[in-house]
Amino acid sequence: MKCSDLKSKISLYIDGILSDGESRSLDDHLSACPLCREHVNDERQLRRDLGKLGRPSIPPAVVGSIKFALREKVSEGRPSIFSTTVSDWIPMRLMPLGVGIATSLVIGVSFLSMMFAGARSAGEIISSDRGRDTRIMLAPGNSDGANDISPTEYARSRMSVAGESPSINPNGAIVALTRSLVGSRMREDEVVVVANVLSNGLARVTEVVGGDTDPKTVADLERALQTDGSNTPFVPAVMDNRGENVRVVLKFKTVNVSTRTAPKR
Amino acid sequence: MVFTRSMTLDDEEFRSAAAAAQPLSARTTYESELLEKLKANDADAFDRFVDSYSGDVFSLLYRLTENADDAAELTQETFLNAYRSIGRFRGDSGLKTWLFRIAVNESRNRFRWWKRRRRERTISLDATIGDSEMTLSDVIADRGISPEEEVLSRERRAALHAALLDLPIAFREAVILVDIEGLSYEESAIALDIGIGTVKSRISRGREELRRRLKAF
């Protein structure tokens, strides 16, 4: 074995990552070659010395500065109004409603079409009662219906107001309906119906406000309100701290808003 | 160092075997919990993140740049970059290795900038840093080395620094990661974004170059 053949292997030999066979061959050569032994010794010393160079300590002011910068980023990092999930916005935006026999819910659908040609996003759900409004934002483009908040969590967050204002099921049919309207503008700018919300979370349209409402939109709404199963439009009464039957007014409204600014009420 | 003499596979075989055996730089429970909170944008977790790793990142960047101000600035950039990228981090390596990879990229970008500016600099170990009376030698003085251990002579330390600084950047990166920061060859390969065979080659040639330069002192 020539010295030149071993030169490139000495580092691996020192670091202990040569095979047993290669190491034995190198051992044999080293026992007979003082030049290579010197090379190995030099490199071992070099490695030890490099390890002893120590590690410079970071100045505490730098640590503080990095933490501060990250804290700022974290606080700035709150998702924008158009990318926020329902779970973030529903509890935040929902305000207590007034007491009354009839509770009105106004559901608005905003079509966001300014930024991308032809692209429209879901908008907002507005709850109102006796002139006091509560606005709920839906996550635009989240058409798979998977919301982070569960119906139980949402209902729990509105315990104090659910008696007069039934909690919409965040994974339910009304939310899904608003999403289905994204990209397919309603024929009218506004659809208003009166409905009874039942104890099981389903609802039934009892009156259509306005004589010229598109029958197809009303039919879609009726189907959504009566959808059975786990995606009932409202949270069932047992989970929602409300009475067996509550009358609501549902209002669907189309508004065009710029994606560059938050929608104004 | 996790290598043993029994691991005698070539690069490709080695990568496969290592991947099959166990994840490289397997994350600890602490890291897993921390990563989860970082991804959830937990401000306190980012404080812990900085407390846990900023020293390592600064040390690496100091060795790569040999400039305290650059190291401080690049350390902050590394963490801000990590903040922006944490959502995409899949945990294929340890957090420290991942941060080192970002830090190496930051230093490479800075190095290119320096080359563009054709800025020349020489570093004296006796030069003071900023307005302080602290010298470069003071800053890079041994830490964590017990008094019983042999301490490098000032001359040998100066010679090592000068030789390291004179080393081609590719070799310097590999030597710093393996011989100073104590990363394994695998972790260094990840941090440098190169194959493990290239790490072996750069370590071998880097040490050889260092030896050659040190003989001149």
Whether residue B204 contacts residue B175, with contact meaning beta carbons closer than 8 Å, is answered with no
Q: Which residue has the tokens 């090379």?
A: A39
Contacts of A44 (CB under 8 A, 6+ apart): A14
Inter-CA distances, A114 with A65, A117, A121, A143, A180, Å? 39, 7, 10, 19, 19
Average pLDDT, chain B: 77
A58: chain B residues, CB-CB within 8 Å: 54-55, 58-59, 72, 75
Copy the structure tokens of residue B196. 């493990």
Taking CA–CA distances from A47, the nearest residue in chain B reads: B179
Inform me whether the C-beta atom of residue A60 falls under 8 Å from chain B C-beta atoms. Answer: no
Of A52, A63, A77, Cβ closest to residue B50: A63
User: Would you list the domain boundaries of chain B?
Assistant: 25-121, 127-217
DSSP structure class, residue A143: T
Copy the structure tokens of residue A21. 């066979």
Distance CA A43, CA A16 (A): 13
Of A20, A49, A62, Cβ closest to residue B152: A49
Name the H helices within chain A.
3-6, 10-14, 20-32, 34-51, 60-76, 86-93, 151-157, 173-180, 215-225, 237-240
Is the domain defined by B25-121 classed in CATH 3.40.1500.10? no
CB burial of B194-203 (b: ≥16 within 10 Å; e: otherwise) equals bebebbbbbb
**8 Å CB contact of A53 and B5:** no
- Return per-residue pLDDT of chain A as tens, 265 residues: 678 778 888 999 999 988 888 899 899 999 999 999 999 999 999 999 998 887 889 999 999 999 999 998 888 864 443 333 443 433 334 333 333 333 344 443 333 333 333 333 333 333 333 333 333 333 333 444 444 677 878 887 887 777 778 888 887 877 777 766 655 555 556 777 888 888 888 888 877 776 566 777 777 778 788 776 667 888 888 778 777 778 887 777 766 655 555 555 4
Neighbouring CB atoms inside 10 A of A191's CB total 23
A112 residue type, one letter: L
Taking CA–CA distances from B197, the nearest residue in chain A reads: A12
Comparison of pLDDT for A161 and B217, the residue scoring more: A161
Comparison of pLDDT for B25 and A57, the residue scoring more: A57
Whether residue A96 contacts residue A85, with contact meaning beta carbons closer than 8 Å, is answered with no
Residues shown for chain A: 265
Between β-strands A102-112 and A246-257, what pairing exists: parallel, antiparallel or unpaired? parallel
Cα A36 to its chain centre, rounded Å, is 62
CB-count exposure of residue B188 (10 Å: 0-12, 13-18, 19+): buried
Distance CA B49, CA B56 (A): 11
The number of C-beta contacts closer than 8 angstroms across A and B is: 145
**8 Å CB contact of A70 and B71:** no
Contacts of B175 (CB under 8 A, 6+ apart): A50, B164, B167, B202, B203, B206, B207, B210
| ipTM here | 0.73
Torsion sign over Cα B150, B156, B162, B168: negative
User: Which phi and psi angles does A166 have, rounded to 5°?
Assistant: -55, 145
Mutant choice from B34, B46, B164 vs A, greatest count of A C-beta within 10 A: B46
Taking CA–CA distances from A77, the nearest residue in chain B reads: B41
Inform me whether the C-beta atom of residue A76 falls under 8 Å from chain B C-beta atoms. Answer: no
Inter-CA distances, A226 with A167, A261, B18, Å? 16, 35, 57
User: Would you list the domain boundaries of chain A?
Assistant: 10-51, 86-257
**8 Å CB contact of A56 and B41:** no
DSSP structure class, residue A232: -
The CATH T-level fold of domain B127-217 is: Arc Repressor Mutant, subunit A (1.10.10)
Q: Nearest-CA distance from A21 to chain B in Å?
A: 9
